[in-house]
Structure 1
Amino acid sequence: MTISRAMLAGLTATALGLTACQQAASPPANEKAATETAAPGASGSGVVRDEVVPEAPPAPTAIQTQPGPDGIQFALLKAAVTGDILTVTVNCTSEKNQWAYLKFDEISIIDDTTSQRIGVLKDNAGAWMGSPLNGKDRIGLNCSPNGVIWAKFPAPPATSPTVSINLPGVAPFDGVTVAR
């Protein structure tokens, strides 16, 4: 059987077109796609999916950083009001296996406008509103390599744009702008 040049050109064009369609349908090389594979000798096929692991969100930028006991560093991440509650979030880091223990009744904010000291809130059952809890009256966490502490306070009035945050044994976070 002989193939004319016209038929050969048509088959080549068709093959190139199919190849281009397959390439266009395949995902980019930098994305992981689900693949189907059948086990040899198996009557059905199984689906194997590669997990797409999302990138970790960027670490929050510290508003201020202060030294604490035993070489622990404390970084203020957030001081924001929602409704009538101010939430303060702090990250602690240590190169050694260090634990931070903070008693709730010693954690406070100072309203910079009125100089009023404000303590950590308690819920209706009398439990402190902060974490991670270590016992009934304190926060405790391993700061190696890092850990996050948060506490809730009654919000200062809107006329008080800044607060100072006091953690026992840690240099104060002074003049912190309250996000509203």
Structure 2
Amino acid sequence: MTISRSMLAGLAVATFGLAACQQDAAPPADQAAAPETAAPGTSGNGVVRDEIVPEAPPAPTAIQTQPGSDGTQFALLKAAVTGDILTVTVNCTSEKNKWAYMNFDEISVIDDTTSQRIGVLKDNAGAWMGSPLSGKDRIGLNCSPNGVIWVKFPAPPATSPTVSINLPGVAPFDGVTVAR
């Protein structure tokens, strides 16, 4: 086999390039002996990294607040329609250890346009659509320091922009704009 000068020159360039890469990859002896330690918050090469701490989501803003019995306060957090269902979410707070109990058949929404009373929905098995449950037919929640309830209703027609929400033992939430 005969090797031409151009093949020999190409082989020499490739060998030299490979030797140069291997030399660059090996750290100097003084760096190899002492592993690099970085100060907290740095990457070891002088770059300072800030620790990112996720912020807690902001507390929901109350649409309205009404007094309840025994020093409790109820804040309406949501009255929104999704599809054909209106979901109402309320927060109950108290400085003392107070519980609020509400029978589902006493909770209602009034369509402000037609004055029609709308009761709480039941699922296909006949269970009330609301939480937290305290027995089969009522909601029970500890208001100390706070507790959240939600209840689902058939949605009022789109021509009814506001509703009034009635919870037993709580002043009514009147003229609530329905989010759609």
Taking structure 1 as the reference length, what is the TM-score of the superposition? 0.74
Q: Residue 12 of structure 2 corresponds to which residue in structure 1?
A: none
Q: Residue 27 of structure 1 corresponds to which residue in structure 2?
A: 49
User: What does residue range 131-170 of structure 1 map to in structure 2 within 5 Å?
Assistant: 131-170=131-170
Q: Residue 43 of structure 1 corresponds to which residue in structure 2?
A: none
Q: Residue 105 of structure 1 corresponds to which residue in structure 2?
A: 105
1: CA distance, partners of 2:96 / 2:55: 27
Task: Encode CA deviations 1:34-70: one digit per residue, 9 max, x unaligned.
Answer: xxxxxxxxxxxxxxxxxx6x33211100000000010
Task: Encode CA deviations 1:152-176: one digit per residue, 9 max, x unaligned.
Answer: 0000000000000000010000000
List runs of 5+ in structure 1 lacking aligned partners.
1-17, 32-51
Task: Encode CA deviations 1:66-118: one digit per residue, 9 max, x unaligned.
Answer: 00010000000000000000000000000000001011000000000000000
Secondary structure at the aligned position of 1:56 is classed as coil
Deviation (angstroms), 1:22:
1.4
List runs of 5+ in structure 2 lacking aligned partners.
1-35
Secondary structure at the aligned position of 1:23 is classed as coil
State the number of aligned residues.
142
2: CA distance, partners of 1:140 / 1:56: 27
Kindly report structure 1 stretches of 4+ aligned residues shifted beyond 2 Å: 18-21
2: CA distance, partners of 1:58 / 1:87: 21
Q: Residue 175 of structure 1 corresponds to which residue in structure 2?
A: 175
User: What does residue range 74-113 of structure 1 map to in structure 2 within 5 Å?
Assistant: 74-113=74-113
2: CA distance, partners of 1:150 / 1:103: 13
Higher alpha-carbon Rg:
2
Taking structure 2 as the reference length, what is the TM-score of the superposition? 0.74
Deviates more, 1:130-139 or 1:55-64: 55-64
Q: Residue 36 of structure 1 corresponds to which residue in structure 2?
A: none
1: CA distance, partners of 2:44 / 2:146: 49
Deviation (angstroms), 1:27:
1.8
Task: Encode CA deviations 1:126-164: one digit per residue, 9 max, x unaligned.
Answer: 000000000000000100000000000000000000000
2: CA distance, partners of 1:104 / 1:134: 11
Secondary structure at the aligned position of 1:171 is classed as coil
Question: Once superposed, what is the RMSD of the aligned Cα atoms?
Answer: 2.0
1: CA distance, partners of 2:100 / 2:127: 20
1: CA distance, partners of 2:144 / 2:55: 22
Secondary structure at the aligned position of 2:46 is classed as helix
